[in-house]
Chains A and B, each alone.
Chain A
Amino acid sequence: MNKLVNRRRVLRGAAGITVGLPFLDCFLNSSGTALAATNAQLPVCFGTWWQGLGMTPGRWVPDKVGAGYEVKVEMRALTPFRDKMNIISGTKYFMDGRPLETHTTGWQIGSTGRIPLGINSGASLDSQIADVIGTKTRFRSIEVSLDGSTQSYSKRAGSASNPSEGSPSKLYARIFGPEFKDPNAADFTPDPKVMARRSVLSYVADERKDVMKQLGASDRARLDEYFSALRQIEQQLDIELQKPAPLAACTVPTAFGETQPGKDIVEAGKNSKLFGGLLAHALACGQTRVFNINVGAGGLRKAGSTQGWHSWTHEEPIDEKLGYQKEVTSFIEWGNETFAELLRQLEGVKEGSGNVLDRTVILWQSDHGIARTHTMDFLPILTVGKAGGRLKTGIHVSAAGDPATRVGLTMQQIMGVPLSSWGALSNETSKTVTEIVA
């Protein structure tokens, strides 16, 4: 931050007039006025959908490249979204001679652009994006899992990953519980308890910081993570103390009870729909702009079956007549149906002439291309939503042999992350997917 301040000072001194750095354009509309409640001027949002175990060769890549592609059978549930969706086929994760940690290395490259050396990794792309578009919201990002676990692929630099919420009712309480401030409420009185909490945090700030004085470099880096997390709590309280800007489309969803944790795909599907509704309302109410959904494919199964999705991918023989794994394809189709339902939830919250999905982009990625043989190529990648006009959609891009990180770079650039290239070694790229950038 010091650098920013210094640069501002330098600019002011040199020119003899006040030259502020430009505001991030996502907070203001083109005429520089405050956000109004019309769709065109609402801020962009970013989401990820991490669905492990790839897709089936021959059953998802459209034959036609470019606009007007045909939706193949495994993705047929997504047909209604064809014109809002892009398919990027043919990309790879590069190993650079490093050993393959099956079902892990793919996530690492997909989310951070590199295979980490040791335990500490770089930040995942969603948290880089959240640092740009998520700093003015109550939650910098929200992580959920469909399998009920706390796992997520969202990380800040270092070793800690943001834990997922597995229960829709707990997420409801977190977002729309007593601390939620309706942006459309006629009057606004800051909660004295929140004011007191904020005062206490300021009061103890120095006591906390003196822990840093005594630490070695690596411990300081870890404590830095703690302090940046703490700043977010402070920010959250500051936001709760301000009268929120009215958001016409914001309504509080109806509360619901505790649901079954989703190990079984039927329960996972129900939870996904509830999560989708909550996220749609959270975006409409300005509570967050970034969300990450971990499908947790490896742990999912059908009731009564000898094995789960992951075991099936390795152990189900390829049906001789059909030429693919029947059981596995049914799981993939379930995943895509569940994704489609989530998209419908986002579309269901209307904002002016559009809806929440229009100003959002969701990146769909996987750990392997073909899970059966743990391939690191033929990766399925989708993006859905126009990101408020920053993306063109309805396009199939064939990027055979290119690093998958091209898509991650594109997402970060359109969201305003100042990056000219992303990833490491062979996964490094400076080539955006220009076909889909508006």
Chain B
Amino acid sequence: MKTTARLLSGAAFTALSLGAALAADAPAEVDTSTVARRLTADEYRTIITDVFGPTIELGGRFEPELRVKGLLAVGTTHVSVTSAGMEQYDVMARAIANQVVDAKHRDLIPCRPANDKAADDACTGTFMAKVGRLLYRRPLTDAELKTYVGAARVATAETKDYWNGLSMSLAAMLSSPKFLFRQVAIVPEPGKPGQWRMEAHAKAQQLSFFLWNAGPDLELLAAAERGDLDTKKGLAKQVDRMMASSRVEAGVRAFFIDNLGFDEFDTLTKDAALFPKFSAQAAADAQEQTLKTIVDLLLTHKGDYRDVFTTKKTFLTQELASIYKVPLVNDGPNGAPDTWVPFEFSKDDPRGGILTQVAFTALHSPPGRGSPTLRGKALREVLLCQKVPAPPAAVKFDIVQDTNNPLYKTARERLKAHATNPVCAGCHKIIDPMGLALENFDGAGAYRLTENGVPIDTSGSLDGVNFTNSAELGKAIHDNPASSSCLVSRLSSYATGRPIDTGMPWAQALLKNFSAGGYKLPDLMRDIALSDDFFSVTPPDTKAAEAAAPNQPAR
């Protein structure tokens, strides 16, 4: 838990005088810009916390995000703002700005107006320049700063209150498209006519959102302004600094939350009568368990990415232990909150790897039972980047999954009966055998050996590799080349906001290094962050060039 505003705390601020804040002015001459990604809810939240501190309440809700090619990050280049969404951004902006000027947080503002009831352009200018650089992820231009100083002046005049005026100007900045969208300014590549590259501040935000899931910090902004990010050496220095920071964990978590579809936990329900152990707490713990397992293996121990499917090491709370049916001693005082305890399953236990964790098995199950088909589909789509076609229209599900049908006691038998329909068989053949291996985990992820009194058969096969239980399935995924090429594709797509298919040259090059280096996630992240492709931009179209020409109205 962060206790202070990382970027706007008193100390950080006094180091920067008004002069310094204003001197770092006007970014390099920008000709045009491209791909505006809308900030995700998480990015918005992190920026506000970094700039104004964790005690600021947002007081609004975000528009639904859009999943494209398996990632919300790719969806951010497609979504805009609806009127209801704009209303919410406006509500949040005003709520945040009101708190920033209130008695509790006013220390964020480094100066005091000469008179509380009148405008004070100097004080407003100092504050807005500093804040603007952090919110826009680049220094404000003179014209922008003048606008916000003027807006505060106008609002102060109408409300006869300096703080009100300042708050309204800040609120306007917080609902500006320059804050809400990640604008990427591009400049012509020197010496290469017709080619374009990202402007330094655009590079800085590309790096920080990817590696830290946050806006650029002061050091990264300074590096951008010095021109460091335009040299290989300077860029490497910043990437290494950021990779060494503890904040990289937030970046890794944000990627896996997106890639594993954990946003769907928000709408996940489990029937309390059937799965009494699956509480809201258990759902939250389940996501945390998978993230902890991943972070521990990939970041803390710099492990092999493929081991996330086989590792026996994990972390449990009391709540989760009861779902897994393993004993876990809580040696805290009676009534103490659940604590995370490292736990290791034995070598021959079918449990182990993130596929057998509640966050996977329960998320890909309907509310009242488990589903080999949903799990198999998720395995193919999420972890192997393969597309499973949607079911055809007018299918009969008569016998499919009546869990009380005396003829078909287990899911395997019910599915077999269903897949006699040749239209259905094609797809079920490629998804069910993988999902059936996870049948030892019920709809809420609890471990079981029988269904309706009949022992569960968990054998199956994946692309020609046979297995008999979930542990061997994990091994099969571990060994399948698609699992690592899929990660490369997803992580590079996530980083750039555009789909990078496994076959693209950049993805191929990344994969080669990833596999040669022993599948280390931090190495892959570094490799992406240092790539030209990571900062490459599509040349602007002629319409944009026209629009960028002087004397053209905005629309």
The residues of A with any CB-CB pair to B shorter than 8 Å are: 95, 99-102, 119-120, 140-141, 143, 149-151, 155-156, 158-163, 192-193, 195-197, 199-201, 203-204, 206-217, 219-220, 222-230, 232-233, 236, 263, 299, 301, 303-308, 311, 314-318, 372-376
Q: Contact at B159–A100, with CB atoms within 8 Å?
A: no
The answer to the question of B54 belonging to the interface, with a C-beta cut-off of 8 Å to chain A, is no
Q: Which residues of A contact B543 (CB under 8 A)?
A: 216-217, 220
In the complex, which residue of chain B has the Cβ closest to the Cβ of A296?
Answer: B267
Please determine whether A200 and B154 come into contact, CB atoms closer than 8 angstroms: yes
Known A-B contacts: A196-B155, A207-B144. Give 6 more (CB < 8 A): A140-B83, A201-B172, A211-B176, A222-B80, A304-B272, A376-B393
Chain B residue contacts of A209, Cβ below 8 A: 554-555
Question: Which 5 A-B residue pairings sit nearest by Cβ, starting from the closest?
Answer: A306-B368, A225-B80, A229-B86, A304-B273, A196-B158
B residues 37-66 near A (Cβ < 8 Å) are 61-64, 66
**Chain B stretch 234-272: residues in CB contact (< 8 A) with chain A:** 267, 269, 271-272
Q: How far is the CB of B334 from chain A (nearest CB, A)?
A: 31
Query: Please, could you name 11 A-B residue pairs with CB atoms under 8 Å apart, sorted by A?
Result: A99-B389, A100-B393, A163-B82, A214-B31, A214-B548, A216-B34, A232-B87, A301-B367, A303-B272, A305-B271, A311-B367
Complex Cα spacing A226 to B398, Å: 47
Write out the residue numbers on chain B whose beta carbons fall within 8 Å of the beta carbon of A305. Answer: 271, 273, 368
Residues on B with C-beta less than 8 A from A311 are: 366-368
For the complex, give the distance between the alpha carbons of A291 and B272 in Å. Answer: 33
Q: Does A95 contact B178, Cβ atoms closer than 8 Å?
A: no
**Given known A-B contacts A150-B61, A374-B391, A207 and B147 have beta carbons under 8 A apart:** yes
From B78, B159, B169, B554, residue with most partner A Cβ within 10 Å: B554
Give chain A residues whose Cβ lies under 8 Å from the Cβ of B75.
Answer: 119
Q: Which residues from B are CB-within-8-Å of A227?
A: 555
B148 at the interface (CB under 8 A from A): yes
Q: Please give the distance in Å from A185's CB to the nearest CB on chain B.
A: 22
Residues 164-198 of B, flagged 1 when their CB comes within 8 A of A and 0 if not, give 11001101110011101101010000000000000
B85 at the interface (CB under 8 A from A): yes
B274 contacts the other chain (CB 8 A)? yes
Number of A-B pairs whose CB atoms are under 8 Å? Answer: 244
Do B36 and A301 touch across chains, with their CB atoms under 8 A apart? no
Is the pair B397, A301 in contact by a Cβ cutoff of 8 Å?
no
List residues of chain B with CB within 8 A of the CB of A318.
Answer: 398
- By a CB distance below 8 angstroms, the chain A residues around B154 are 196, 199-200, 203
Given known A-B contacts A163-B82, A299-B269, A308-B368, A204 and B390 have beta carbons under 8 A apart = no
Given A119-B68, A222-B80, A192–B158 Cβ distance below 8 Å?
yes
**A429 → B minimal CB distance (Å):** 21
CA distance in complex: A140, B369 (Å): 42
Within 8 Å CB of A140, what residues of B? 83
How far apart are B61's CB and chain A's nearest CB, in angstroms?
7
| Minimum C-beta distance from B350 to chain A (A) | 25
Query: Judging by beta carbons under 8 Å apart, are B547 and A306 in contact?
Result: no
Please tell me the number of chain B residues within 8 Å of chain A, measured between CB atoms. 86
Q: How far is the CB of B356 from chain A (nearest CB, A)?
A: 23
A204 touches B172 (CB 8 A): yes
What string of 1s and 0s marks CB contacts (under 8 Å) between B378-397 and chain A?
A: 00000000000111111111
Q: Is A160 touching B88 in the complex (CB atoms < 8 A)?
A: no
Chain A CB within 8 A of B541 CB: yes
Residue B84 is within 8 A (CB to CB) of chain A in the complex: yes
Q: How far apart are the CA atoms of A158 and B165 in the complex, in Å?
A: 35
The reply to whether B151 and A156 form a contact with Cβ atoms under 8 Å apart is no
Interchain nearest-CB distance for B188 vs A (Å): 14
Please determine whether B32 and A199 come into contact, CB atoms closer than 8 angstroms: no
List residues of chain A with CB within 8 A of the CB of B391: 100, 102, 374
Interface residues of B, Cβ cutoff 8 Å to A: 30-36, 61-64, 66, 68, 75, 78-88, 90, 143-144, 147-148, 150-151, 154-155, 158-160, 164-165, 168-169, 171-173, 176-178, 180-181, 183, 185, 267, 269, 271-274, 366-369, 389-403, 538, 540-541, 543-544, 547-548, 552, 554-555
Bound Cα distance A373, B397 (Å): 7
A307 touches B367 (CB 8 A): yes
CA distance A172 to B537 in the complex (A): 46
Across the interface, do A216 and B544 meet the contact criterion of CB distance under 8 Å?
Answer: yes
Residue of B nearest to A313 (CB): B397
Q: Are B81 and A225 in contact (CB under 8 A)?
A: yes
When C-beta atoms are compared, the residue in chain A nearest to B140 turns out to be: A207
Q: Assuming A119-B66, A200-B168, A212-B547, is B79 touching A160 (CB within 8 A)?
A: yes
In contact, B86 and A199 (Cβ under 8 angstroms): no
Q: Say whether A199 contacts B158, CB under 8 Å.
A: yes
Closest to B368 in A: A306
Chain B residues contacting A373 (CB-CB under 8 Å) are: 393-397
Q: Verify A216–B541 contact, CB threshold 8 A.
A: yes
| Complex: chain B residue closest to A228, CB-CB | B83
B172→A211 contact, CB < 8 A:
no
A211 pairs with B178, CB closer than 8 A: yes
Are A149 and B151 within 8 A (Cβ)? no
Establish whether residues A222 and B86, one from each chain, have CB atoms under 8 Å apart when the complex forms: no
CA distance A207 to B543 in the complex (A): 21
The reply to whether A315 and B402 contact each other, CB–CB distance below 8 Å, is yes
Residue in A closest to B155 when the chains form the complex, CB atoms: A196
Give bound CA distance, A375 to B144, whole Å. Answer: 55
Q: How far is the CB of A299 from chain B (nearest CB, A)?
A: 7
Q: Report yes or no: A303 in contact with B273, Cβ–Cβ below 8 A.
A: yes
> Contacts A203-B154, A209-B555: A156 and B82 contacting too (C-beta < 8 A)?
yes
Give the one of A195, A211, A214, A303 with max B CB within 10 A: A214
Would B151 and A216 count as touching, CB distance under 8 A?
no
Q: Chain A residues with Cβ under 8 A from B177's Cβ?
A: 208, 211, 223, 226
Which chain A residues border B394 with CB–CB below 8 Å?
Answer: 373-375
- B81→A306 contact, CB < 8 A: no
Q: Which residues of chain B come closer than 8 Å to A314, judged between CB atoms?
A: 397, 400-401
Smallest CB gap from A198: residue in B: B158
Please give, as numbers and ranges, the residues of chain B lying within 8 Å of A201 by CB-CB distance. Answer: 172
Asked whether, in the complex, the Cβ of A306 is within 8 Å of the Cβ of B397, the reply is: no
B147 and A206 contact, CB distance less than 8 A: yes
In angstroms, Cα B395 to Cα A374, docked, is 7
